[in-house]
Chains A and B, each alone.
Chain A
Amino acid sequence: MPDQNLTGTRSTAPVAEVAQAEAGPPPGKPRSLWSDAWSDLRRKPSFLIAAAMILVLIVIAAFPGLFTSASPRDADLSGAFLRSPELTKFFSPEWFGYDSQGRSVYARVIYGTRASIVIGVSVTVIVLFVGSLVGMIAGYFGGWVDAVVSRIVDTFMGIPFLLGAMVILVSFDVRGKLVITLALAVLGWTTIARVMRGSVISVKQADYVQAARSLGAGTWRILLRHVLPNAMAPVIVVAMVALGGYISAEATLSYLGIGLADPAMSWGSDINTGKDQIRVALHVLIFPSIMLSGTILAFLMMGDAVRDALDPKLR
């Protein structure tokens, strides 16, 4: 066969091409591509940091009570009005100070995590499901199905994300997590659909799909066994990066006052409260902002690390 070393058309480094002797030692343990990616990820500091951060965030979101005994709604206007952070010897909520209603900023930051994580994750799950399904159908069947779906996707893509979300949300009187989630999902699925469509189009031309067809495999078998598992990787990466985006969208909407609002807790609405006292009490603004940026960063880093691990070009 042509030596691929120079042209690099095959994705491997020149040496990866060389395999085991036929009758010789068995090629190690069975390793799927996913487990290969996993063993790559495990050694990557950026992934480990991101994973640790996300894990902590999830635990905070699930059990905020474990992290603070204070209630985020306990207001002590007389004693704690905009009290500045105080560095005690050991960690205590005092480090974060109090807001304009005398509530512990630390407690609010902890309790605000849930909204961000829940909305971010649920939007991603919905978008992943709907977008993948639509993208897969459009990509695999092609023809007029693809033409129709692609036009719909294009139409949605034309709507500015935040503006669209604002328009939708304004039409609701009560805007809970569910409404915000749905609003973001309605506008977000097209990104996934587009990536999935492209991915499926390239996978469906692969020889192994042709091989399955020539065996007489049915459409569903081909889609679920052959196309989907091989088309998923780029979609998962995009979804992880998008997750950070959804969290930031939720915060932005809440900041603008058309997302979550008191009594619901959200970093975005806390940042909004904090901005009024920015000159006298910076800490009210700073801590939720740090949490928000940190969270988004964690998901972006995760997406990046996973992209590298799944990228067949590096394999």
Chain B
Amino acid sequence: MADTTREPILEVRNLVKHFPLTQGIVFRRQVGAVRAVDDISFTLYPGETLGIVGESGCGKSTVAKLLMNLERATAGEIFYKGEDISKLSGRALKAVRRNIQMVFQDPYTSLNPRMTVGDIIGEPFDIHPEAAPKGDKQARVRELLDVVGLNPEYINRYPHQFSGGQRQRIGIARGLALNPEIIICDEPVSALDVSVQAQVINLMEKLQDEFGLSYLFIAHDLSIVRHISDRVGVMYLGKMVEIGSDAAIYDHPTHPYTQALLSAVPLPDPDAREGRERIILTGDVPSPANPPSGCRFRTRCWKAQDRCAEELPLLAVPQRYADADTAVAHDSACHFAEEKPQVTHA
């Protein structure tokens, strides 16, 4: 479990990513920007799982890409063990990359169809020869296959010969090859069947215990995030609206968006159908190219007042809970943050 007294292994400060919207072919001019990630901060501690939830377009996948340096941040810093890695390049970046790996969402497109499983899992060693096993590379690949629960004899097969769940295991084995400390998982099970999801989740938990990994677990499925995470952050339209321990977010949410989100999740319990109060939000998520002023959620919020349009709520422990020593005292970016009983429990 997380040890929050220790130094964070990853710290994100005021991270911003704007994708410019341009017009014209020869003379490009910027006509606006998609504010995919807009001033986000969080920390990840060694050995813990931080879940990031949000609906499509909230910027959670962009966060993953920024952390992996697949996209360059517009502003802000990413500290890995105290060192800002967001501006690194070349050799220094490559060295950091060994320690931060990623598991992708779609097991059907994240493995090169023209490479054998052995080549895919062994590729990290070709790229980082300094981290390659001294002796037999093949033996290490077989060992990795075994670790993720695949038959090592499959080493010469091609990805399309495997099912979705098996492919995701191959992706995880590739992520483990360099013994990273952090694994960023972008919707790692959302493409899998229900019965296979549980297998992969259990595998990920087992690997975390075994290798002391820190996970950043990005998903839209709130139930899975609750299951695997120690702490959870909720994103809406490029902003982090609430973050806290899993009990804080799931049992004592104070942000209206989180409350709506939780109440909208259908529970696999037909008896809970009637007793449960559901908040059905109206409308759709606004475009990140033209977000509402002030609080981003105000256009769909039932609590919204004039203040919400004028003043951006900060992510902090709400005043009214400042002295509470229960899980309700956690960061929430709402002017009117308040617990709403019986949101999740029927």
Residues in chain A within 8 A of chain B (CB atoms): 1, 10, 18-20, 22-23, 26-28, 30-34, 36, 147, 206-208, 210-218, 221, 225-226, 229-230, 315
Complex contact B102–A30 (CB within 8 A): no
Complex contact A217–B123 (CB within 8 A): yes
Chain B residues positioned under 8 Å from A33 (CB to CB): 113-114, 158, 160
Complex contact A206–B158 (CB within 8 A): no
Chain A residues positioned under 8 Å from B104 (CB to CB): 207, 210-211
| CB<8 Å pairs between A and B, sample of 10 | A22-B149, A30-B161, A207-B105, A207-B106, A210-B70, A211-B102, A211-B104, A214-B70, A215-B97, A216-B128
Add 15 more A-B contacts to A30-B161, A211-B174, A214-B101 (CB < 8 A): A26-B154, A26-B157, A30-B158, A31-B158, A31-B161, A32-B116, A207-B104, A208-B109, A210-B70, A211-B171, A212-B112, A213-B70, A215-B178, A216-B128, A230-B113
User: B158's contact among A32, A215, A225, by CB below 8 Å, is which?
Assistant: A32
Chain B residues positioned under 8 Å from A1 (CB to CB): 164, 190-193
Chain B residues positioned under 8 Å from A229 (CB to CB): 112, 114
- A210–B102 Cα gap in the complex (Å)? 10
- A18–B165 Cα gap in the complex (Å)? 11
- A102–B10 Cα gap in the complex (Å)? 88
Complex contact B97–A27 (CB within 8 A): no
Q: Which of chain B's residues has its CB closest to A16's CB?
A: B160
Counting from the closest, the 10 A-B pairs by CB-CB distance are A19-B163, A207-B110, A216-B94, A229-B114, A216-B97, A27-B161, A208-B112, A207-B109, A30-B156, A214-B68
Say yes or no for B127: interface residue by CB 8 A criterion: yes
Say yes or no for B2: interface residue by CB 8 A criterion: no
Say yes or no for B306: interface residue by CB 8 A criterion: no
The contact size tier of chain B is: 35 or more
- Name the interface residues of B107-160: CB closer than 8 Å to any CB of A: 108-116, 123-124, 126-128, 149-151, 153-154, 156-158, 160
- A216–B153 Cα gap in the complex (Å)? 28
User: B112's contact among A20, A22, A216, A226, by CB below 8 Å, is which?
Assistant: A226
- A131–B105 Cα gap in the complex (Å)? 34
Contact with A along B226-262 (1 / 0, CB 8 A): 0000000000000000000000000000000000000
Chain A residues positioned under 8 Å from B163 (CB to CB): 18-20
Known: A1-B190, A207-B110. A212 touches B123 (CB 8 A): yes
Say yes or no for B166: interface residue by CB 8 A criterion: yes
> Taking the nearest CB of chain A, how far is it from the CB of B259, in angstroms?
27
> Taking the nearest CB of chain B, how far is it from the CB of A268, in angstroms?
40
- A214–B154 Cα gap in the complex (Å)? 25
Which of A1, A218, A225, A230 has the most chain B CB atoms closer than 10 A to its own CB?
Answer: A1
- A18–B190 Cα gap in the complex (Å)? 17
User: B102's contact among A19, A214, A225, by CB below 8 Å, is which?
Assistant: A214
Chain B residues positioned under 8 Å from A225 (CB to CB): 112, 115, 123
